[in-house]
Amino acid sequence: MLVSEAVGATLAGLGADTVFGVVGSGNFHVTNALIANGATFVATRHECGAACAADAWARGTGRVGILSVHQGPGLTNALTGITEAAKSRTPLLVLAADVAGAAVRSNFRIDVAALAASVGAVADRLYSPATAAADAARAYRTAQRQRRTVVLAMPLDVQAAQCEPPKVPPMPPLAPPAPAPEAAAQLARALAEAERPVFVAGRGARAARAALEELADACGALLATSAVAKGLFHGSPWDLGVSGGFASPLAAELITGADLIVGWGSSLNMWTMRHGKLIGPGARVAQVDDDSSAIGAHQQVDIAVPGDVAQTARAVLASLHTRPGYRSRELRNRIAREVRWRDVSYEDQGGDGVIDPRTLTIALDDLLPAERVVAIDSGNFMGYPSMFLSVPDELGFCFTQAYQSIGLGLASAIGAALAQPDRLPVAALGDGGALMGVSELETVVRLGLPMVIVIYDDEAYGAEVHHFGPDGFPLDTVRFPPADIAEIGRGFGCAGVTVRGPTDLGPVRDWLAGPRDRPLVIDAKVASASGSWWLEEAFRGH
Ligand SMILES: Cc1ncc(C[n+]2csc(CCOP(=O)(O)OP(=O)(O)O)c2C)c(N)n1
Ligand SMILES: [Mg+2]
């Protein structure tokens, strides 16, 4: 059989059943081999969109995402999305066609391994026809086992060669790493002494809600998450929501009041800890992570526990006596009344043809069904949907900000939607990011996704306006004339509505009540006299 067929069959055998990509001659046969072995292929209109959709799909399913690209420009087009995935430790396998080793003068020649390494991905290769199936299996397992983004170079001459039908031996499942008993005991002692413990759960805790809640109940901890794990403790009376720049005033007050902060699968980076400002004087910090290199990387820690989050939580629980810790009836009531951003009063800045982004988002939070999956692009606007839209659980939120690129949000929403087909997908974008990634609107329409695409339209690269405006710099390079994005959406086959005030939301209600047979683009002309408060803080913090 052909190597391309053997690679497709091998990957399908390992579980690759959904493949995102743009097909050219170099990845045509491998992609078709995957389809022939039962996989579904999702064609996007730009390789970066395919990478982002595969990344979001992997985040939403917990499985290895597969991206298939043509040699040369197919791979370089995908690079920003691949970088986001690599920096987020998304298990993603990139099937990257490559020129033959001997084709030294090929115009498609790029150094695929160097390119992968430079963005933090793992480089691997189909080395020969005889090893190709084993090479592909190794790449898949690196992605899966090490949570890495792997770029598998597939030279055209190797792909086109004959090989024996592949025999890839099965691999037994690996147990996650248990914590060292001394480290778990140290954490248990700290929790037994803590009067006001707070848990901050990150990406690495997304599958460990039950174990963490049980432990938190025993030691009286309050619960918070990093932005990427938003929704993890949804419904708990002790859930403070997101820690960091997006923390509500009450959440920030209670986190700062902690005498012990335990990061669970969270890097405790400058965003999550507000440059350390959320750690109160005298508070101790513990960090649990199955990747020991993550411990202490961003934040000085007093107690380091290398180990799997759920296993560590269970091990600590076993030696802990129940105590009230931070919890009281009064605090529970206060959290119920005040912890959500939408419970915080504000002065509406809408009027004169623009809507306050908070008013818009609160209205959408009320209108949209609770079973939703929200994907967010980058920009000044991004805190509004992150803070004012609730999500049913950690799978309801897709936050691709590891590389802080704009223009990824719409494609991420596609992958998130396919991972959670029973939920209403919501893409929250700025006008800049929306127009940068607009080609994937055709993909949303073609796939028939019932997506709501909300565009916070300030007719500018608002983040830059608010970054440089206060110092009096010229802003012509970051401001744009009005664009009728609702009409652009209609041109792609979406329903489109322009929102300039709360009374313009009727068509959103109608769309939700209707068959939802095409996506809805909401072009919200938002008030933008001042920048968002979390962005101001981020600029000050640098
Ligand atoms: C690919 C990329 N190019 C440029 C930037 C720098 N940048 C950060 S935010 C931003 C503006 C985004 O504009 P928009 O999507 O309209 O959101 P807004 O800030 O206006 O809310 C830009 C250009 C970036 N982060 N990523
Ligand atoms: Mg904008």
Q: Does ligand 1 lie within 6 Å of residue 477's CB atom?
A: no
Is 542 a residue whose pLDDT tops 60?
A: no
Closest-approaching ligand to the CA atom of 379: 1
Instruction: Using the atom order of ligand 1, give the atom closest to the CA of residue 404.
Output: 25
Chain segment 47-62, per-residue pLDDT in tens: 999 999 999 999 999 9
Say how far apart CA 539 and CA 276 lie, in whole Å: 15
Closest-CA residue, ligand 1 atom 13, reads: 461
Is 170 a residue whose pLDDT tops 90?
A: no
Tell me if 306 sits within 8 A of 183, measured CB to CB.
yes
Say how far apart CA 105 and CA 535 lie, in whole Å: 47
SS3 content of the chain, % helix, strand, coil (to 5): 45, 20, 40
Which H or E element spans position 287? strand 284-289
Cα 379 to averaged position of ligand 2 atoms, centre (Å): 7
Look up tokens 């951003």; give the residue. Answer: 341
Look up tokens 């405790």; give the residue. Answer: 268
Tell me if 150 sits within 8 A of 179, measured CB to CB.
no
Q: Does ligand 1 lie within 6 Å of residue 460's CB atom?
A: yes
Q: Does ligand 1 lie within 6 Å of residue 431's CB atom?
A: yes
Say how far apart CA 319 and CA 297 lie, in whole Å: 28
Cα 429 to averaged position of ligand 2 atoms, centre (Å): 9
Cα 459 to averaged position of ligand 2 atoms, centre (Å): 5
Say how far apart CA 537 and CA 539 lie, in whole Å: 5
Rg, Å, the chain Cα set = 24
Provide the pLDDT confidence category of residue 445 given band limits of 50, 70 and 90.
Answer: very high
Longest dimension (CA), the chain: 73
Is 511 a residue whose pLDDT tops 80?
A: yes
Say how far apart CA 525 and CA 519 lie, in whole Å: 19
Instruction: Using the atom order of ligand 1, give the atom closest to the CA of residue 430.
Output: 15
- Site to substitute for ligand 1 among 354, 356, 358, 378, most atoms within 8 A of C-beta: 378
Average pLDDT over residues 521-537: 90
Say how far apart CA 489 and CA 504 lie, in whole Å: 17
Tell me if 346 sits within 8 A of 533, measured CB to CB.
no
Say how far apart CA 295 and CA 292 lie, in whole Å: 5
Helix (H, G, I), strand (E, B) or coil at 282: coil
Q: Does ligand 1 lie within 6 Å of residue 538's CB atom?
A: no
- pLDDT value, residue 250: 98
- pLDDT value, residue 525: 98
Instruction: Using the atom order of ligand 1, give the atom closest to the CA of residue 381.
Output: 21
Strand ranges across the sheet with 452-457: 397-399, 372-376, 424-430, 452-457, 520-525, 495-499
Beta-sheet pairing, 65-69 with 260-264: unpaired
Q: Does ligand 1 lie within 6 Å of residue 220's CB atom?
A: no
Which of 434, 433, 428 lies closest to 382, judged by CA?
428
Closest-CA residue, ligand 1 atom 9, reads: 379
Which of 416, 396, 464 lies closest to 49, judged by CA?
416
- pLDDT value, residue 174: 86
Say how far apart CA 343 and CA 359 lie, in whole Å: 12
Q: Does ligand 1 lie within 6 Å of residue 532's CB atom?
A: no
Q: Does ligand 1 lie within 6 Å of residue 461's CB atom?
A: yes
Q: Does ligand 1 lie within 6 Å of residue 405's CB atom?
A: yes
Cβ within 8 Å of residue 433, ≥6 positions away: 377, 378, 379, 406, 407, 408, 409, 410
Q: What is the mean pLDDT of the chain?
A: 97
Cα 251 to averaged position of ligand 2 atoms, centre (Å): 28
DSSP class of residue 479? B
- pLDDT value, residue 539: 72
Q: Does ligand 1 lie within 6 Å of residue 404's CB atom?
A: yes
Residue-wise burial string across 107-144, b where 16 or more C-beta atoms lie within 10 A, e elsewhere: ebebebbebbeebbbbbbbbeebeebbbbbbebbbbbb
Give whole-number Cα distances, 125 to 22, 218, 404, in Å.
Answer: 20, 49, 29
- pLDDT value, residue 18: 98
Tell me if 234 sits within 8 A of 223, measured CB to CB.
no
Chain segment 65-115, per-residue pLDDT in tens: 999 999 999 999 999 999 999 999 999 999 999 999 999 999 999 999 999
User: At 515, phi and psi to the nearest 5?
Assistant: -75, -10
DSSP class of residue 214? H
Which H or E element spans position 398? strand 397-399
Chain segment 411-431, per-residue pLDDT in tens: 999 999 999 999 999 999 999
Which of 114, 74, 79 lies closest to 96, judged by CA?
74
- pLDDT value, residue 168: 83
Tell me if 373 sits within 8 A of 231, measured CB to CB.
no
Chain segment 178-196, per-residue pLDDT in tens: 999 999 999 999 999 999 9
- pLDDT value, residue 537: 78
Q: Does ligand 1 lie within 6 Å of residue 250's CB atom?
A: no
Beta-sheet pairing, 18-21 with 65-69: parallel
Cα 407 to averaged position of ligand 2 atoms, centre (Å): 11
Instruction: Using the atom order of ligand 1, give the atom closest to the CA of residue 462.
Output: 20
DSSP letters, 341-369, are GGGS------BTTBB-HHHHHHHHHHHS-
Q: Does ligand 1 lie within 6 Å of residue 378's CB atom?
A: yes
Say how far apart CA 224 and CA 339 lie, in whole Å: 11
Say how far apart CA 90 and CA 397 lie, in whole Å: 15
Tell me if 519 sits within 8 A of 451, measured CB to CB.
yes
Say how far apart CA 89 and CA 443 lie, in whole Å: 26
Average pLDDT over residues 513-541: 89
Lowest mean pLDDT among 99-113, 147-161, 207-221, 523-537: 523-537
Query: Residue 261 is encoded by which pair of tokens?
Result: 């902060």
Average pLDDT over residues 233-245: 97
Q: Which pTM does this prediction carry?
A: 0.97
Give whole-number Cα distances, 123 to 12, 83, 140, 193, 451, in Å.
Answer: 21, 13, 12, 46, 35
Tell me if 91 sits within 8 A of 14, measured CB to CB.
no
Cα 525 to averaged position of ligand 1 atoms, centre (Å): 17
Cα 456 to averaged position of ligand 2 atoms, centre (Å): 7
- Site to substitute for ligand 1 among 52, 84, 382, 406, most atoms within 8 A of C-beta: 406
- pLDDT value, residue 541: 62
Cα 406 to averaged position of ligand 2 atoms, centre (Å): 10
Chain segment 125-137, per-residue pLDDT in tens: 999 999 999 999 9
Is 454 a residue whose pLDDT tops 60?
A: yes
Cα 377 to averaged position of ligand 1 atoms, centre (Å): 9
Q: Does ligand 1 lie within 6 Å of residue 458's CB atom?
A: yes
Closest-approaching ligand to the CA atom of 438: 1
Q: Does ligand 1 lie within 6 Å of residue 239's CB atom?
A: no
Cα 372 to averaged position of ligand 1 atoms, centre (Å): 25
Say how far apart CA 315 and CA 180 lie, in whole Å: 10
Query: Residue 35 is encoded by which pair of tokens?
Result: 């389809």
Q: Does ligand 1 lie within 6 Å of residue 403's CB atom?
A: no
Is 37 a residue whose pLDDT tops 80?
A: yes
Provide the pLDDT confidence category of residue 471 given band limits of 50, 70 and 90.
Answer: very high
Which of 425, 409, 442, 431 lies closest to 523, judged by CA?
431
Chain segment 370-379, per-residue pLDDT in tens: 999 999 999 9
Q: Does ligand 1 lie within 6 Å of residue 91's CB atom?
A: no
